Amino acid sequence: MRRVVHVGPLMAPGGMSSVIKLLAANPPQGWRASSCNTYSRRGKLQKLRRWRIARNEIKNGDFDLVHIHCASDWSYKRKLSIAKVANAPVVFHIHSGRFDIDTKSDLNNYHVVCLSKSWSERLKPLIGDSISVPNPVSPMPKEGVERDEFTLLMGRNDPVKGHAFAYSLGLDDLRVTGVENAPEGVTALGWVSEEKKWKLLQSAGCLVVPSEYEGQPMVILEALSVGCPVVASSNIPDLPDCVKVVDLDDKAGWKDAIANPITQGLEESVAKHHVDIVSKQWGEIYDSIMDSSASTE
């Protein structure tokens, strides 16, 4: 049985970590999967140490395929240095919604993957040819959870996620994960467990995603997979038709969309993202890479 190793920020909060864990837990038929963490929450020195450990693990490991997950900026540069020492074919999987590095020559020897066909086209001048595979989702609905009227925002406390904008809407019951403090009238939930996350998505009246940019937000896919309506920023590409999309400068539009979200066809809209389907796609890609490598030896 062939072995693939997923390389990326396993210990980081956010969507990329969720994707890595899902793919590692659901490898394609004929493959075994493991993971290699590149991230530490304990400051720059520990991040550097973690990168060195990951680099050595990939350099000295016995893998048939190395699947690297990256964002942009330093994430890309760190992951590229790991790719260069791999002793197996490399899949370079770009997750970022703000990838702006001209890196065609750097990635020429790797199999580059983006999150959608539109991202592949958009990034082609920077990365060259790539293939597209959507993010996976594995719904985890809880029994006996009823939908409520509160509005939910889930994401790390970063300006690009739009917390300040959400606060400015003056919503009656806004609950926010990823933050420990929030203005009066907003409930700060901190970081929540997987179980709590799914319970929130099942019970929220609406999920809001007022981000300045995103790649393919896992939280939107997860919300739709359990029937949670979504209102999102028009800056986020490739959203299903059942997501109400509003410009960030249109507060009245946001309030109206939150009060009247689309509630039909949500689960169906993300059926193609189910982890079983996405895992099968990865299996076809992995097998093709291995067959191609064998034919050139």
pLDDT tens profile 126-184:
999 999 999 999 998 888 899 999 999 998 888 889 999 999 999 999 999 999 999 99
State the pLDDT at residue 190.
Answer: 93
Task: Give the orientation angle of helix 218-225 with respect to helix 194-203, to 10 degrees.
Answer: 60
State the pLDDT at residue 127.
Answer: 95
How many CA atoms, within 13 angstroms, populate the side-chain half-sphere of residue 233? Answer: 20
* Stretch 271-292: mean pLDDT: 96
Residue ranges covered by each domain of the chain: 2-136+274-295, 151-272
pLDDT tens-place string over residues 181-237:
999 999 999 999 989 999 999 999 999 999 998 888 999 999 999 999 999 999 998
State the pLDDT at residue 89.
Answer: 97
CATH number belonging to domain 151-272: 3.40.50.2000
* Stretch 16-34: mean pLDDT: 96
User: How far is Cα 133 from Cα 34, in angstroms, rounded to an integer?
Assistant: 20
Residue 44 in this model has a pLDDT that exceeds 90: no
Q: Do domains 2-136+274-295 and 151-272 have the same CATH topology?
A: yes
* Stretch 11-35: mean pLDDT: 94
Contact 162, 233 (CB under 8 A): yes
The residue assigned the tokens 């490991």 is 61
If DSSP codes are grouped into helix, strand and coil, which group holds residue 60? helix
User: How far is Cα 3 from Cα 245, in angstroms, rounded to an integer?
Assistant: 41
* DSSP structural state of residue 16: H
State the pLDDT at residue 295.
Answer: 52
Residue 32 in this model has a pLDDT that exceeds 60: yes
CATH number belonging to domain 2-136+274-295: 3.40.50.2000
